[in-house]
Structure formats: C-alpha cells, structure tokens
Structure 1
C-alpha cells in the first residue's frame, strides 16, 4: 500500500476548492495549482469568494478527523462597518443562522477585534473608503456549516466583505504565499 501524502495550500480568491467542476464554471480548480497525486481530497472547503488555509490529503481518515469538531478553525473576517463589542459578544455565544432550510444556532466559539492583518490585495477589489468604513474580527469555531462565518457576521448586522482562514488546529497560514502549495509529512 502506498504512503499517504498531505498538503497545505493558500487558496486564492476565485478558486473552487475542488478538482472537478460540475457546474462547468470558468473558475480555477485545485489541480491548476500543483500536480497532486490521484485520490487527493480537500479537507473541508472554502467557497469561491473565500481565501486562505486549505488542507489536502490522500488519507480519508485524516480528512474525517480534521473535519470533526476536535479542531479549531480560525478566520480573519473583514466586515462592512465598524463592528461593535456587542456584535463580537454575540459571535462568541452563538447566533441563529439558516442551515438546510432550518434555523440553527451556532455553537459558542471565540471572537475578537483585530487590526487590519495587511494581507495582499486580492485579484478583485473589495471596495474603497468611499463606501464607508470596514473592520476586522477573528472568529474561531469548531464546526463548519455551509457559509457559516458569513452567515454569522450577517446575523449580527456586519456582512462579510473578505474571509481568510488562517488556522486549522495548530496548522497556520503563516507566510505561505497566495497559491503556494507545501507538501508536509503529517497534518495532525
């Protein structure tokens, strides 16, 4: 049996977190970044408009382990407006969002205000100061419902403008360049 392989990538904005494109959209796929081995899978996903840390593996057991609620996932989120302390507190305790056509209250997590992390500009400009101020918040969760972080910030009145995953468990985005792929011996 062959040895499993593991990868850490900095997914750019506008890329699909998949190797196949069922909708045949004109978007880049993970396979456009690197010649990954057969049976490589993304561990969780980041939607097309999200950026940051994405883990890949050829080991389904590792994928299931990391997708479980054992590991924290940290996101830096740029929101529309100057987020209030009250909104940050709500993000910590859990907010009601829609999921699979039903109302769902997110599990408690961590959230705090951060300074602009000065990430490189993305390929599509978000907007400029003429449209009003923005602010940044770190959100740390252990679950990962569909578009959860975006729904959470909208639920507290501060829609997400930019979302960057910076950490999964102990693995950090650190200084990985946008679109960079790094092969590692283990993920957890």
Structure 2
C-alpha cells in the first residue's frame, strides 16, 4: 500500500496511507511529501510475551532461592550443660528448630520451642536458653557451672565467624538484671553432623 509522509518527529514519521489511516514508520531520513510503500502484513508481537515470561521465570528463581536459603539447615549449634539441646540454623543464623540431645532435655527443648519462635536470631535464642536453664535448674548460678557450645557448619569460615560472634554475645554483661551465662567454651567442628 502506498503512503505519503505528512510529518516527521525525532525517529518516527507519520505516513498517510491510501486507506486514510495514519501509520507510524521509522523516520530514517525521510522528508515530508515523500511517497513510500507500506508493508501491511500483520506483525507478530512476540517480544513482549517473551520478556514477561523471562521476568516471571527470574522472579520465580529468586523466590525459590530465598525460600531455600531461609529453610535449609546450614549450621547446628549444640549447647551442653546438665541439659543438652541442639539448634538448627539457616544461612542467616536464624533458628529453624531446637531438639533435645538426651532424653532428660526433652522438657527444656519443648519449652524452648514454645518460647523461641522460628527465625529468631541465635543470639536471642541463646539468651532465652540460658534463662530457661536457670528456671529449670540446669544452671544454678554457682562457680562450677559451665556451658559448652559446639558449632557444626557446612562452611568452615561460617563456623568460625559464628564462634567469635557467640563468644562475644555470651560473655557480655546483661543489663536487665538476669543471671549471667556461666563460663562458656565455644568450639567449632568442620562439617554438619550426620543426618539421622
């Protein structure tokens, strides 16, 4: 179909076709009054759906990765005194689960599951654990009390960083008047414990 360029603006030109419809065409050095031939075959509009599909796929991948990182067990922190419990942490040092390491610690683990919500940072969980141990009598506040914190991580560097962090957190003074954690030994192992 023939058309005549009636106006140009920037990169586009308006062409008036034989059918009386104004079509936008690339300007490419065209001048007003120039006659051109328009291609009237219908074009397939596949670029936008592909772009949207790619965006949706990328968002799904990002969401899946985030959920995986939040729910995948990555580090295990066990706390041993007269009672022994083990925290399962995700990549962000947030608590996923707490379980007893011995039968006598089942009540303590149950109380901690109720008082330490999922995704609580391990610092806060340790403070709550020490308070619960003083309440149930596992810790007495005497000189001979001692805690051993053992960290097992999938990544050695992560385990050592968490060891330093928990060492500082458990040795700082508590301003709220609650009992201080007893003398604490924080140690780390190379890999996670075997799955049971």
TM above 0.5: no
The structure having more radius of gyration, on CA atoms, is: 2
TM-score, normalised relative to structure 1? 0.25
TM-score, normalised relative to structure 2? 0.24
**Whose strand fraction is larger, Structure 1's or Structure 2's?**
1
**Whose helix fraction is larger, Structure 1's or Structure 2's?**
2
Higher relative contact order by CA 8 Å / sep ≥ 6: 1 or 2?
A: 1
